[in-house]
Each structure stands twice: as C-alpha cells, then as structure tokens.
C-alpha cells in the first residue's frame, strides 16, 4: 500500500459525518472538531479513567519484545536532519518541522514500532500558540525582518507529538567514601602592628575526615528520556515538568490534525540514558547517608531491580526557520513558555 493510500485510509476513519471533511482534535477538549461545519464528535474512549500499566524491561529484552503491542506507521525521513515524522493527509510536499528543509514525498516508509501506550493531548490550540509565538518574535530587537514576515503565517507552527520513554526502577547501591566533620581549633599567628611584631590567636574551622561505607536504596518513578535525536535535550529539558498526571491512553484520534515523530533511540539505549538521571538521585542519597558536614564518594556499585518502562508521546508546538544558512528553532509547551533555540546548519 502506498504512502498516499495509507494516509487516505487514516483520514477516512475521521471523516465528519455532517460534511465529509477531516475532523481534527480540538486541544484542551476530548472532542474531534470539523473546521468547516463546526460539528464536534466526542472521543468516547477518553472519558474512561486512565490506568497506567508498565512493561517489564527484562522480559521485553529476553523475549525479543514478542508480547509488546506494535503499531504500523508511515513516516517521511528528512534528508537533511534525519527526523522521521508523519505528514498531514493529502500533502505531497512540505518542509521539515525540525530543520525547515524542503521535503518532497515520493513514497513513505512503513515501520513497525512499539505502540505508544499513553500520550499527553495538546491543551493549547494553534491560534493561541501562534499569537504568543508571534508576539514573542516581534519583541526580539535582533530578529531580522524576514523572520517577522515568516511568523505572519500560522501554518509555520507545527503541532508535534514527540516520542519519550519513561523508566521505573528500584536500586541498591553499595558505596565507599569519606565523611568530613567540621571542628574548631585555635591557632597562633604573627602580624605587624605599628612596626612591631605581635603574636595573636584566632579560631579556625578544619575538617576531620573518616572512612565511610554503606548501602542506599532508591525507588525511581517515571524517569523521562527523550527518544528523539531531532531536538537538543538541553532545550527539551527546559519544557519540564510535564503534566504526567494528565496522561491518557493512546488514541489515533488525538493525533488528527497534528504530526508525530517515531522514536530513534531504542528501549535499551534509553534505559542507559535514564541511569544518568538515577545516578544523580543515588549520589544525593549517599551524601545524606554519609552525613557529616562534607562528603566524598570514592566508589558506587548499583544494582537495578524491577525495571519497567512505557512509550509515551508528549506535545510541543514547533517551528523551524532558516536564515543565512542557519537554523532557528522555536519550541513551546504552553502559551507562556517559549524557548528559542539557535543552531548552525
């Protein structure tokens, strides 16, 4: 089946019963809405309470993910930045939402991926996001006129669902280190007063170090890992904290009218990345366990138990603009939070 046929198949599932136009998800609601006749259709599945279920990590690796639900998707890969994302229905030419490079669709690539288990639906619609985006750009004194003209078109702002992994784990960490306790002592010193040498005393704080070792236990829940290489982590991290309490069961209907990216970082690699976050928490626990006024960690050996994960999609409004062979990216999670990203080509 061709890319165009697969896209048409999806769009036919979301046709408006009143006028036949494509229904789109209305951010901040549980409805699909027709932009032409105004008809609204409730996403009935969204009315059910979401019960979050995790996937056993070790079982997934040992059984070669045979029991994990898969999703067949058709994506178009950007020849410049490598991002693999979906396109809007019936579109054969577009620009990459991540680097603004032109994309001409001659055929999509069908992939079988781990199906997202949950997603965080958009809460801010395009109009609201665009108005704040335009206001923010116009406030930049250094913004070139080409950029200010660029933001006159609301279609330049793309609603994107970005792939993430979350990990849970219990950890046991054996450590060795040093505990430093402050103590006060008196010392003498010599100074010159009116040309004469004078000996005085003063109190000073010193540190008494002693050997320390022990074991700490930690429980990590929903350690978030970006499963995409298309956006810089140091900027996507600034979009946190996400409203994880509002996650809902994955439903294609929430994606109608938006684009999504498939993950580029697999589950195993994602867990190794999550260890960086966990390590920070483990070191904090060790410092607390050592006690005293100062702590030094010499060695840490950690065992990870009861590891689980899930695949989720999180929403951002994204725009990419090219100026003098440089790429400017703009990301927003909520109307009041816009992050400016500047990258060389």
User: Which tens digits make up the pLDDT trace of 14-61?
Assistant: 667 777 677 888 888 888 887 777 777 777 766 666 788 899 999 998
313 and 209 in a common domain: no
Q: Does residue 115 surpass a pLDDT of 80?
A: yes
Burial 82-115 (b: 16+ CB within 10 A, else e): ebbbbbbbeeeebbbbbbbbebeeeebeeeeebe
178 and 87 in a common domain: no
Torsion, CA 8, CA 12, CA 16, CA 21, rounded to 10: 20
92 and 62 in a common domain: yes
| pLDDT tens-digit map of 255-308 | 888 888 888 899 999 999 999 999 999 999 999 999 999 999 999 999 999 999
Domain range holding 317? 3-173+214-344
Return d(Cα 334, Cα 159) in angstroms, integer.
12
Which of 213, 242, 275 terminates a domain? The answer is 213
Highest mean pLDDT among 172-176, 234-238, 340-344: 172-176
Q: Specify whether the CB–CB gap between 304 and 171 falls below 8 A.
A: yes
Domain tally for the chain?
2
Q: pTM of the entire structure?
A: 0.80
Torsion, CA 289, CA 295, CA 299, CA 305, rounded to 10: 30
Which of 185, 213, 241 terminates a domain? The answer is 213
180 and 160 in a common domain: no
Return d(Cα 177, Cα 169) in angstroms, integer.
24
**CA separation, residue 68 to residues 54, 57, 72, 116, 162 (Å):** 11, 11, 13, 10, 20
219 and 140 in a common domain: yes
Which of 196, 213, 230 terminates a domain? The answer is 213
Query: 55 or 321: which carries more pLDDT confidence?
Result: 55
Return d(Cα 164, Cα 267) in angstroms, integer.
10
278 and 181 in a common domain: no
52 and 128 in a common domain: yes
| pLDDT tens-digit map of 69-81 | 877 766 677 767 6
Helix ranges, 94-179 (H):
126-138, 145-150
Q: Does residue 4 surpass a pLDDT of 50?
A: no
Return d(Cα 74, Cα 266) in angstroms, integer.
18
Q: What region, left, alpha or beta, does residue 306 occupy, with left being phi > 0 and alpha being psi -120 to 50 degrees? A: left
243 and 182 in a common domain: no
188 and 56 in a common domain: no
200 and 81 in a common domain: no
Q: What are phi and psi of 102, to 5 degrees?
A: -70, 140
Give me the percent of the chain exceeding a pLDDT of 90: 32
194 and 252 in a common domain: no
Q: Which helix (H) or strand (E) holds 202?
A: strand 196-226
Q: What is the DSSP letter of 36?
A: T
206 and 293 in a common domain: no
């Amino acid at each position: 089946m061709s890319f165009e046929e697969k896209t048409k198949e999806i769009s036919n599932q979301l046709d408006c019963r009143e006028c036949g136009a494509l229904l789109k998800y209305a951010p901040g609601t549980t409805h699909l809405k027709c932009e032409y006749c105004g008809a609204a259709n409730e996403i009935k599945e969204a009315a059910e309470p979401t019960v979050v279920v995790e996937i056993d990590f070790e079982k997934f690796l040992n059984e070669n993910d045979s029991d994990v639900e898969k999703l067949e998707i058709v994506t178009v890969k950007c020849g410049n930045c490598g991002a693999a994302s979906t396109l809007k229905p019936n579109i054969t030419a577009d620009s990459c939402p991540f680097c603004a490079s032109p994309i001409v669709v001659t055929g999509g690539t069908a992939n079988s991926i781990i199906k997202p288990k949950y997603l965080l639906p958009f809460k801010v619609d395009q109009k609201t996001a665009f108005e704040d985006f335009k206001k923010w750009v116009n406030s930049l004194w250094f913004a070139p006129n080409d950029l200010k003209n660029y933001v006159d078109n609301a279609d330049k702002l793309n609603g994107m669902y970005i792939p993430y992994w979350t990990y849970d784990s219990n950890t046991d960490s054996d450590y060795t280190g040093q505990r430093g306790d402050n103590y006060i002592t008196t010392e003498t010193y010599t100074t010159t007063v009116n040309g004469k040498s004078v000996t005085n005393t003063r109190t000073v704080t010193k540190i008494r170090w002693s050997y320390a070792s022990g074991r700490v236990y930690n429980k990590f829940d929903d350690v978030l890992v970006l499963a995409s290489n298309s956006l810089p982590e140091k900027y996507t991290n600034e979009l946190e904290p996400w409203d994880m309490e509002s996650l809902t069961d994955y439903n294609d209907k929430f994606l109608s009218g938006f684009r999504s990216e498939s993950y580029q970082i697999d589950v195993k690699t994602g867990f190794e990345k999550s260890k960086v976050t966990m390590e920070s928490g483990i070191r904090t626990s060790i410092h607390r366990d050592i006690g005293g006024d100062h702590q030094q960690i010499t060695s840490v050996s950690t065992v990870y138990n009861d590891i689980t994960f899930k695949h989720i999609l999180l929403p951002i409004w994204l725009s990419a603009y090219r100026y003098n062979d440089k790429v400017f990216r703009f990301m927003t999670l909520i109307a009041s939070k816009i992050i400016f990203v500047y990258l060389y080509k």
